[in-house]
């Protein structure tokens, strides 16, 4: 009886030790810290998410590897992970429900990848716990933006508060792309190639507090774009380092800017990119006169005089043309007679030339003419 009890105790100790060892196991390609609840797998040429990551991990960093594809089940057993960074892994494809096991996930970093195929439910996590999503430098090409818009719509990301889409070479934003994100507070679209903001670009972002549109390709903010920015209420805006063309069409934006300096955080840094005479001029200091929409007294007079001279020149040329046509009409009979006489004279000259040519080309005719002369 005593021996049996001892064996049971030994087995229990072995099982306990095995379970402790299993709970604290760490993949060979990673570094684990149970105290910090952190696992790091950095630059180890991994081809997939390593197996056997400890269940205590709350912060998981898998960086600088060669993981081309994320599949469902890649993060099974990691319900405690709240922060996941997968940056610079050359990820090309994210399948639906790849993050479905991460029921506590609040921050996801996919920056620096090459996402070309994003499945519709790639970002779906049960319970919508995700609060921050970093996709900076993550999209392989511009067409991936359409896939991302679908993933945002199907991902049930109603609790997402921060989205970073910077440095993705985006030329446009799909219509109502952010409408499924009603809780979004911070949206970063800096360092893209956006040229315009069509109607509906920011539909559904009533809770937005911060929008970064700096370092894009805006040459102007037209009335439609200003309506989109006004749709965001009191959200803080960043618009600097765009190649703004300071011409008359920008007058409305200048007026809007002066009335919205409290919202535009970098309004003092907005400057002209063209024309050359206004390059680097502060936009907040410009008005309609500087943009060429209105002239001063001298300039306006000179412009008016130039316009008047052009009008007078056109009238004179038109009058000369009319007189010329009128003279031609009055002398139409004489012109016709002159044309007929000229034609007859030309015909006689040509017939003479033709007669001489026939004589010169036939020796017999030449001899006859010679005999006749004798």
Which tens digits make up the pLDDT trace of 179-219? 999 999 999 999 999 999 998 999 999 999 999 999 999 99
pLDDT at 39 (0 to 100): 97
Q: Mention every residue, 6+ apart, whose C-beta is less than 8 A from residue 246.
A: 272, 273, 274, 275, 278, 281, 283, 286, 290, 291
Reply yes or no on whether the pLDDT at 304 is more than 70. no
Reply yes or no on whether the pLDDT at 82 is more than 60. yes
pLDDT at 249 (0 to 100): 80
Mean pLDDT, residues 223-244: 93
pLDDT at 123 (0 to 100): 95
Please choose, from the candidates 220, 168, 218, 225, the residue with its C-alpha nearest in 3D space to the C-alpha of residue 202.
225
Per-residue pLDDT band at 294 (split at 50, 70, 90): low
pLDDT at 301 (0 to 100): 44
pLDDT at 154 (0 to 100): 94
Structure-model confidence comparison of residues 293 and 234, the more confident one: 234
pLDDT in tens, 146-190: 999 999 999 999 999 999 999 999 999 998 999 999 999 999 999
β-strand 132-134 against 107-109: which pairing, if any? parallel
Q: Could you give the 3-state DSSP secondary structure of residue 32? A: strand
The helix (run of H) or strand (run of E) holding residue 221 is none
pLDDT at 25 (0 to 100): 85
pLDDT at 8 (0 to 100): 43
Reply yes or no on whether the pLDDT at 265 is more than 60. yes
Reply yes or no on whether the pLDDT at 38 is more than 90. yes
Q: Could you give the 3-state DSSP secondary structure of residue 215? A: coil
Reply yes or no on whether the pLDDT at 364 is more than 80. no
Mean pLDDT, residues 57-62: 98
pLDDT at 299 (0 to 100): 44
Structure-model confidence comparison of residues 340 and 133, the more confident one: 133
CA atoms of 356 and 4, how far apart (whole Å) = 147
Reply yes or no on whether the pLDDT at 19 is more than 80. no
Please choose, from the candidates 361, 360, 341, 359, the residue with its C-alpha nearest in 3D space to the C-alpha of residue 349.
341
Please choose, from the candidates 350, 347, 368, 371, the residue with its C-alpha nearest in 3D space to the C-alpha of residue 359.
368
Reply yes or no on whether the pLDDT at 359 is more than 90. no
Structure tokens at 174: 């799909």
pLDDT at 15 (0 to 100): 44
Structure-model confidence comparison of residues 347 and 232, the more confident one: 232
pLDDT at 303 (0 to 100): 54
Mean pLDDT, residues 51-78: 95
Average pLDDT, the chain: 85
Reply yes or no on whether the pLDDT at 296 is more than 50. no
Q: What is the DSSP string of 94-139?
A: E-TTTTTT-TT--EEE-TT--B-EE-TTTT--TT----EEE-TT-B
Reply yes or no on whether the pLDDT at 290 is more than 80. no
CA atoms of 103 and 208, how far apart (whole Å) = 25
pLDDT at 187 (0 to 100): 98
pLDDT at 260 (0 to 100): 86
Q: Kindly report the number of other CB atoms within 10 A of residue 157's CB atom.
A: 24
Per-residue pLDDT band at 13 (split at 50, 70, 90): very low
pLDDT at 286 (0 to 100): 75
Per-residue pLDDT band at 315 (split at 50, 70, 90): confident
Reply yes or no on whether the pLDDT at 300 is more than 60. no
Reply yes or no on whether the pLDDT at 16 is more than 60. no
Q: Kindly report the number of other CB atoms within 10 A of residue 280's CB atom.
A: 7
pLDDT at 288 (0 to 100): 55
């Amino acid at each position: 009886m005593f021996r049996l009890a001892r064996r049971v105790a030994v087995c229990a100790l072995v099982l306990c030790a095995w379970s402790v060892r299993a709970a604290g196991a760490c993949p060979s390609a990673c570094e684990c810290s149970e105290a910090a609840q952190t696992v790091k797998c950095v630059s180890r040429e991994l081809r997939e998410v390593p197996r056997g990551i400890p269940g205590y991990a709350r912060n998981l960093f898998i960086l600088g590897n060669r993981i081309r594809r994320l599949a469902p089940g890649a993060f099974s057993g990691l319900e405690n992970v709240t922060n996941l960074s997968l940056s610079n892994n050359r990820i090309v494809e994210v399948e639906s429900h790849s993050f479905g096991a991460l029921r506590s996930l609040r921050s996801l970093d996919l920056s620096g990848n090459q996402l070309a195929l994003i499945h519709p439910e790639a970002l779906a996590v049960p319970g919508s716990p995700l609060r921050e999503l970093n996709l900076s430098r993550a999209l392989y090409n511009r067409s991936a933006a359409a896939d991302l818009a679908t993933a945002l719509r199907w991902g049930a990301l109603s609790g997402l508060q921060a989205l970073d889409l910077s440095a993705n070479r985006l030329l446009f934003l799909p219509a109502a792309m952010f409408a499924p994100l009603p809780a979004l507070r911070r949206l970063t679209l800096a360092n893209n190639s956006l040229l315009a903001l069509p109607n509906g670009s920011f539909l559904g972002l009533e809770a937005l507090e911060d929008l970064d549109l700096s370092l894009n390709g805006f040459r102007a903010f037209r009335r439609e774009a200003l309506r989109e920015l006004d749709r965001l209420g009191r959200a803080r805006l960043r618009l600097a380092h765009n190649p703004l063309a300071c011409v008359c069409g920008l007058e409305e934006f200048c007026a809007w800017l002066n009335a919205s300096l409290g919202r535009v955080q970098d309004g003092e840094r907005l400057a002209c990119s063209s024309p050359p005479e206004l390059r680097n001029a502060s936009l907040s200091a410009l008005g309609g006169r500087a943009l060429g929409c209105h002239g001063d007294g001298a300039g306006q007079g000179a412009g008016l005089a130039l316009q008047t001279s052009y009008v007078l020149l056109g009238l004179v040329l038109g009058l000369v043309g009319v007189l010329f046509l009128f003279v031609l009409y009055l002398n139409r009979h004489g012109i016709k007679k002159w044309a007929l006489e000229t034609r007859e004279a030309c015909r006689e000259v040509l017939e003479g030339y033709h007669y001489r040519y026939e004589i010169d080309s036939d020796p017999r005719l030449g001899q006859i003419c010679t005999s006749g002369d004798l």
